[in-house]
Amino acid sequence: MKKEILCYGDSNTWGYMPGGMGRYGENVRWTGVLQNLLGDGYHVQENGINGRTTAFDDPEFLCRNGLEGIGYALTSGKPFDLVAVMLGTNDLKFVTANRSAAGAKLLIETLQAANEKFPGSTPVFRDEVRILLISPIEIGGNALSEGDYFDMEQSRLFAAEYEAAAREMHVHFLDAAKVASPCPVEGTHMLPEGHAALAKAVAEKVRDILENNAAAL
């Protein structure tokens, strides 16, 4: 039986090409590279939406609140062995990194109670509830929206705030900014090499969790 993984994220999970040039192909997006790295024993489900937040409404765009959408993603793709969440960048349109981490904790609380919150003929998590919280990449100095929407300096605080949240909630953690950077021209989205580097780091973490039974924070 294949191990089922849900990757729940925003435009960098969807595969947004810097500069609004379209969407990267399946084998370029980090989720597709992750699938190739993990191999036939795994099935990676990609669920990314441009502009998605952890738990905040966007008055200009519908269907962007990650907390409101998580139930649909879970019940449509269950059962899972692991859910990886990488959200937060779009929160900085509205809140600080600290409040973004609080939004991530709300998502984690829902995931930890998913079998009870979303009952059905099959559970959301196949056996143990396993969650990987990934703090987003940092926003670059040339981000086109920096100043109007995103706070570049707040993005530098993601790793510390999200690691603290992961520790408090006893879930696994990965800092995406340690391995990937945004496009230096556009400053928000990853280039193909960033997708590849992130996929490699996530693959190592996934194997550690599901094959080596690594303990959560």
pLDDT tens-digit profile of 176-210?
999 999 998 888 999 999 999 999 999 999 999 99
Nearest to 210 by CA among 125, 119, 109: 125
Q: What angle, 0 to 180 degrees and rounded to 10, lies between the N-to-C axes of helices 158-169 and 97-112?
A: 30
What is the pLDDT of the chain when averaged over all its residues?
Answer: 95
pLDDT higher than 90, residue 149: no
State the pLDDT confidence band at 146, using cuts at 50, 70 and 90.
Answer: very low
To the nearest 10 degrees (0 to 180), the angle between helices 66-77 and 97-112 is 30
Confidence of residue 148 (pLDDT cuts 50, 70, 90): low
The reported pTM is 0.96
What does the H/E/C string look like for 97-161?
HHHHHHHHHHHHHHHHCHHHHCCCCCCCECCCCCEEEEECCCCCCCCCCECCCECHHHHCCHHHH
Q: Which domains does the chain have, with CATH numbers?
A: 3-210 (3.40.50.1110)
pLDDT in tens, 12-60: 999 999 988 899 999 999 999 999 999 999 999 999 999 999 999 999 9
What's the confidence (pLDDT) of residue 133?
Answer: 98
How far apart, in whole angstroms, are the C-alpha atoms of residue 127 and residue 153?
40
